Amino acid sequence: MKERVLVFDTTLRDGEQSPGASLNVQEKVEIARQLEKLGVDIIEAGFPASSPLQLEAVQRISRESSKVVAALARAVEKDITAAWKALQEAAKPRIHTFIGTSDIHISGKFSSDRYGRTLQEKRSTVLRMAVDAVAFAKTFTGDIEFSAEDAGRTDPGYLREIIEAVIAAGATTVNIPDTTGYTWPAEFGRKIADLKSHVPNISDAVISVHCHNDLGLAVANSLSALDFGARQVECSMNGIGERAGNASLEEIVMALKVRSDLHNFETGIVTEEIYNTSRMVSTFTGIIIQPNKAIVGDNAFSHESGIHQDGMLKSRETYEVMTPQSVGVPQTSIVLGRHSGKHGLQSRLLALGYSLEESELEALYRRFVEIADKKKEVYDDDLRGLMGDELKRPGSTFELDYLHINSGTASIPTATIRIKHRDQLYEESATGDGPVDACFRAIERALEIESMVTSYSVRSTTAGRQALGEALVRIRDRGVSFNGRGVSTDIIEASAKAYLQALGLRLNHFESNTTETIDNGV
């Protein structure tokens, strides 16, 4: 009999905390639907107290998901109440509350004397806050997860004490995060073993782990924790998350699957859905997957050297420990063209994991027809690119109404742009070092803003001269980054759209984000 490891997906919460990765409500709902198909056990849908949009996204996901839906809350009543407000229509709601437990976190976050004057006093306050938070959350629902933030660097004796106390207060899952990605696999495994053997009521809760990847050890630490008693892993698609990210879902799942000879674990993941999920997350977050990324990178199954190619032709097993099919990498590419109708488009999108509402499908179809007219063959990656561009409509949209570029070897690049925003038109011209620079300057002039671009790249969505150009623009304002993506057969137009999308996300964020900083904040 195999032992089930619960997969807790935090793509929509910790993953969304990746620089620039803000997702709108509709994108979150789409990703949650795909996570459901992927077979994760728990979807952490967001942090409702942090903004009205987060709350709305958790609410929408709660309404339709059959999985456990978790919402994050600091160990304060206001956050827990917001989490419950967002979760109450969920079939299986989980409140996930947390507080920093390492001395570094305690003395940094709870420096005010009102938490106690000595470290010892502050530790007692934190323990009391944790217990009170769990008990308060328990008044709403039975499924409560408690996280001892920075458990990786928390004093072992204090960690045991707090874990025992929160279980006694009603926590049903106790999460041991390596928040800073500091621990070593054997050390982290011992931490779990220590809790297993020294916390008297530990069998009343599931032990979970949540590992960050600052030293590239997140997956190794998570697997080590499983060996020593953890039965829930928190992870994200493509490993996205704060800083260097979280443990990557696809790596943990495939390591467990491929090396099932070494252990007795199984997950409920439908591994053939990994590729589609990975691409959807990349498209919507604007975070590109590095080509050599394990499992889902473009090169994960390509063999370059002659020796390897020869070996592969004779027998795949010589150089592959799993097949591309097992993770859903498509073997043949299906091409749509200008004669493909709306139903053809819809069924291709469904196969890629996108289930659009009628109005969204209508809008996408119009874009599809425009593209198909220009480039004849429309590939899956073109459709993914279009989805990233079309669905990412920030509430405060800046629409590209008109763009004219003058450029050549003997002329000064000049751009004229007209932008529509909240029923007003903004028009300006500018020159620049090149056509993209001129276009960005014209946007900045028209909207009367300083340049905020921190990175810009352009690539083709598929091979060949007729490929769509996909531009990615990252901007940064007041310490927050926003990723914009634009797709077009014309790369200057794609670039302008990407910049405008990022600017729309920025405006949306600062108009709707009401998070106030409190002492025990994330």
Residues that bind ligand KIV (CB under 6 A): 14, 98, 147, 149, 175, 177, 179, 210, 212
Q: Which is nearer to Zn ion, 152 or 435 (CB)?
A: 152
3-state secondary structure of 446: helix
Q: Which is nearer to Zn ion, 14 or 145 (CB)?
A: 14
Residue with tokens 């459709």: 383
* CB of residue 112 to ligand KIV, shortest distance in Å: 21
Q: Pick one of ligand KIV, Zn ion, none as the site partner of residue 147 (Cβ within 5 to 8 A by kind).
A: ligand KIV
The phi, psi pair for 73, rounded to 5°, reads -150, 135
Q: Which is nearer to ligand KIV, 153 or 338 (CB)?
A: 153
Q: Which is nearer to Zn ion, 14 or 250 (CB)?
A: 14
* CB of residue 179 to Zn ion, shortest distance in Å: 6
Phi-psi category of residue 420: left, alpha or beta, with phi > 0 → left and psi -120 to 50 → alpha: beta
* CB of residue 273 to Zn ion, shortest distance in Å: 24
CA distance 466 to 375: 5
Asked whether the beta carbons of 148 and 154 are under 8 A apart, the reply is: yes
Q: Which is nearer to ligand KIV, 210 or 506 (CB)?
A: 210
Query: How far does CA 45 lie from the centroid of its chain?
Result: 10
Question: Which residues in the 255-294 window bind Zn ion by CB under 5 A?
Answer: none
For residue 65 the two structure tokens come to: 């998901």
Q: Which is nearer to ligand KIV, 175 or 285 (CB)?
A: 175
Task: Select the span of 12-20, 34-42, 396-404, 413-421 touching Zn ion (CB under 5 A).
Answer: 12-20
CA distance 232 to 252: 11
Task: Select the span of 9-17, 198-206, 312-320, 343-351 touching Zn ion (CB under 5 A).
Answer: 9-17
DSSP assignments along 316-328, one per residue: GGGT-SS-TGGGT
Residue with tokens 């001395």: 103
The phi, psi pair for 398, rounded to 5°, reads -105, 115
Q: Pick one of ligand KIV, Zn ion, none as the site partner of residue 41 (Cβ within 5 to 8 A by kind).
A: none
Q: Environment class of residue 447 by beta-carbon count within 10 Å: exposed (0-12), middle (13-18) or buried (19+)?
A: middle
Asked whether the beta carbons of 46 and 53 are under 8 A apart, the reply is: no
Q: Pick one of ligand KIV, Zn ion, none as the site partner of residue 441 (Cβ within 5 to 8 A by kind).
A: none
Helix or strand holding residue 480 (H, E): strand 480-488
Q: Which is nearer to Zn ion, 238 or 397 (CB)?
A: 238
* CB of residue 9 to Zn ion, shortest distance in Å: 13
Asked if 360 touches Zn ion (CB under 5 A), the answer is no
Binds Zn ion (CB under 5 A): choice among 6, 9, 12, 14: 14
* CB of residue 412 to Zn ion, shortest distance in Å: 49
Query: How far does CA 9 lie from the centroid of its chain?
Result: 9
Q: Pick one of Zn ion, ligand KIV, none as the site partner of residue 149 (Cβ within 5 to 8 A by kind).
A: ligand KIV
Asked whether the beta carbons of 417 and 443 are under 8 A apart, the reply is: yes
The site for Zn ion (CB under 5 A) is made up of: 14
